Structures are given as C-alpha cells and as structure tokens.
Amino acid sequence: MPSEAAIGIFDSGIGGLSVLKHIRTQLPNENLLYVSDRAHLPYGEKDKQYILQRSRVITQFLISKNVKAVVIACNTATAAAVKELRESYQLPIIGMEPGVKPAILRSRSGMVGVLATHGTLNRHKFKTLLQDHADGSEVIICPCDGWVEAIEQNGHDHQTTRQIVSQQLQPILERGVDTLVLGCTHYPFVKKMIADEAGPDISIIDTGPAVAKQLQRQLSAHNLLSEATTPGSEAFWCSAPPRQTQKRIESLLQVPVRLQLLPEPK
C-alpha cells in the first residue's frame, strides 16, 4: 500500500467532519476521502446489524478507492462495528469512543456527564468502558434525543437546535456534573451552545484531537505516513442526494466542496 494513498473517513452524516478537521490539522499533507451516510441516519436509533451492514458497505467503497486506513468518525458505528471490521479487513481501522477516561481524570467533583446517542450508550462496548474507568466517580448518561437530526436539518447555529440542546442538558447539569463528554461526533458543532448552557466552570471533552493523534501513530507504525510536502486534498461522498449536505459541509469547513453520490452495491 503506497503511503500516498488517501485516508478514508466515515460517519452517519456531517458529524465526522468535526474529526476530519483535527485530522487535517494534525496531518496537513494527507489526502482525505469522506463519506456521509445521510440516507441512513440516525445510526443512534438503528440496531447493530444495520449499522454493521452500512459500515461494511462504506468500508468496501473506501477500499475500492485504495485508502490506506479507515477512520470510523462515529462513536455509534465504532461501538457497533469496529471489532467486526478489524476482523474482516487488513488495513488500520481507527475507531472512537466517548472520552470517559480523560473526563474522570479531569473532574474535581467526580461527577461526569456523557452526551451520546442511544446506540452508543446501550452497547456492550460502552458498558465495559464504564466498568473499567468509572471507579469511584458518578457517570450520568444523557441519550441526546434528536440532536443529530436537528444538527443535520437546521445546522449547528439554529434556534430549534439550541432549544433541543438546552432542554436536554438541564437535568444533567442539575445533577452537578463538572465535566461533560461529547460522545458523538456531531456534538462538537454545538459545543458553544453547550458551553453557553453549562457555564464557564464546566469542562467539555472532545475526543477528535486524540483520534487524529491515534491515526498518526497508526500510520507511522505501518510506515504509511505521506511524504508529500504540499497540502493534501479532500473528496466527499454522500448516500443521500448531495445538495443539502453540500451546503452544510461548505458552511462547516468554510470552503467550496464537490459532493458525489455514494454508489450502492448491486
């Protein structure tokens, strides 16, 4: 596999762009291919088999584009599919999970809130994460109903999105958490709304930068880091008609993009 091959990144929608941004900063000369599976979101409300099947379709597509590594820029898809994908494919597959461990380390009160989808919170992988790290701390979970849909439909800076975020944060804030984990890649786009609601004394943990570092480590370990000295390119695919997603991506990345329709297997 040549080191000049691209890195494949996918999510159910635009959430994974919050990870792509960190990858771009960490690895400026790598070529990136991004897939938004918008026709099938929210993953958070789907069962394991459904997400696994979509993750396989997308991974196959990325492999057909000769990627050298795949980043599952989605906590929900990682919880449902990372193990099986790693068993099926040889290339490095980088997944992500809610930053419970760093949150517990940072928390002074021992009260931590995890914001994530039902799909992430109900999966065995998350329960194991809590068992392994929550020792002595209280972890309060918040299945953020409708956040992903609101961010996809209305954007990250919309009154309706703000109402949904604010309403569902209240109960968890009232419990006295001092650290909040963004356990879904869509949520960094509403980090400011969350911070406005939570106030300055509450820390907010986003695992996007750690995922970009882990990707760099994996590429380096496999001798796959690009040796290019010029800025890398980005290409985008979407499983739903691209028009609306194109606007969202352009507004989030602040550059014009060309979005292509994801081909589905026959």
Interface positions with ligand DGL (CB under 6 A): 11-13, 15, 41-44, 74-76, 117, 120, 148, 184-186
CA distance 234 to 177: 38
Nearest to 66, CA basis, from 24, 110, 5, 116: 5
- Residue closer to ligand DGL (CB basis): 226 or 245: 245
Per-residue CA distances from 203 to 6, 76, 192, 218, 232 (Å): 34, 23, 12, 28, 33
C-beta separation of 148 from 44 below 8 A:
yes
Choice between 5 and 150, CB closer to ligand DGL = 150
Q: How far is the CB of 177 from ligand DGL (least distance, A)?
A: 20
- Spatial separation of the C-alpha atoms in residues 206 and 102, rounded to whole Å: 10
Do you find a cis peptide bond into 42, omega within 30 degrees of 0? yes
Nearest to ligand DGL of 32, 148 (CB atom): 148
- Rounded to the nearest whole angstrom, what is the least distance from the CB of residue 148 to ligand DGL in the complex? 4
Taking the complex as a whole, the smallest distance from the CB of residue 150 to ligand DGL amounts, in Å, to 12
Catalytic residue numbers? 74, 184
Q: In terms of CB distance, is 76 or 239 closer to ligand DGL?
A: 76
CB of 1 to ligand DGL, least distance (A): 27
Nearest to 182 by CA among 199, 194, 170: 194
> In sequence order, which ranges of 27-97 are alpha helices (DSSP H)?
48-64, 75-88
